[in-house]
Amino acid sequence: MAKEKIVRCKISKSVNGEKQESIRYVPLDIFDLWKLLMKTKHGFEIENDSVSLWFDIDGDPNVKYVDTNYERVIRLKLWVYCEKDGMFREVTRYFPAEEYKKIRQNFLSHYDAYFKSSRFPPRIEETHGVWLKRVD
């Protein structure tokens, strides 16, 4: 069973006078850099960050946990081949399970060039898991 330290936060941005919000899950080791990028480049506000653990659920998205103190989160790993460097690189992101289908295509569109031009098409791995809510 894999586990990762993940930060759960809410991102928000005003678009045409309307505030749009969503939840993001970001690995703890890159959270500060990610937060800076989201604020400065994309204009998002980041709030309510909380650190806990994400566990895979051994490939069965229908597993029922007795403890209801968790959120279902899907980890998407994408391996893309960089022609310039001559090697693969791994991109890992975590998404709320209930929004996954909507977010997945938008996320993958950032890598369209790899899907169209690489002699090695990207490989995608999806892992169902849970993010445990911490009780302080």
Backbone angles phi, psi at 101, to 5 degrees: -60, -35
- Positions in the chain whose pLDDT score sits under 70: 1, 58-67, 118, 135-136
Domain-located, residue 10: yes
Domain-located, residue 65: no
Residues facing 9 on adjacent strands? 24
The β-bridge relationship of strands 3-15 and 45-56 is antiparallel
CA 101 – CA 8 distance, rounded (Å): 19
Residue 100 CB neighbours (<10 A): 17
Domain-located, residue 119: yes
pLDDT for the residue 131: 93
Contact status, residue 101 vs residue 126, Cβ threshold 8 Å: no
Domain-located, residue 93: yes
Full residue range of the structural domain in which residue 48 is found? 3-59+73-132
CA 71 – CA 82 distance, rounded (Å): 34
If one counts the domains in the chain, the total is 1
pLDDT for the residue 134: 76
Contact status, residue 90 vs residue 84, Cβ threshold 8 Å: no
CA 122 – CA 111 distance, rounded (Å): 9
Domain-located, residue 105: yes
The runs of H, that is alpha helices, within the chain are 31-40, 100-109, 112-117
pLDDT for the residue 133: 84
Domain-located, residue 68: no
pTM listed for this prediction: 0.82
Q: What's the first-to-final CA gap in the chain, in angstroms? A: 25
Domain-located, residue 35: yes
pLDDT for the residue 23: 92
pLDDT for the residue 69: 84
Domain-located, residue 86: yes
pLDDT for the residue 86: 85
Q: 104: burial class by Cβ within 10 Å (0-12, 13-18, 19+)?
A: middle
pLDDT for the residue 2: 75
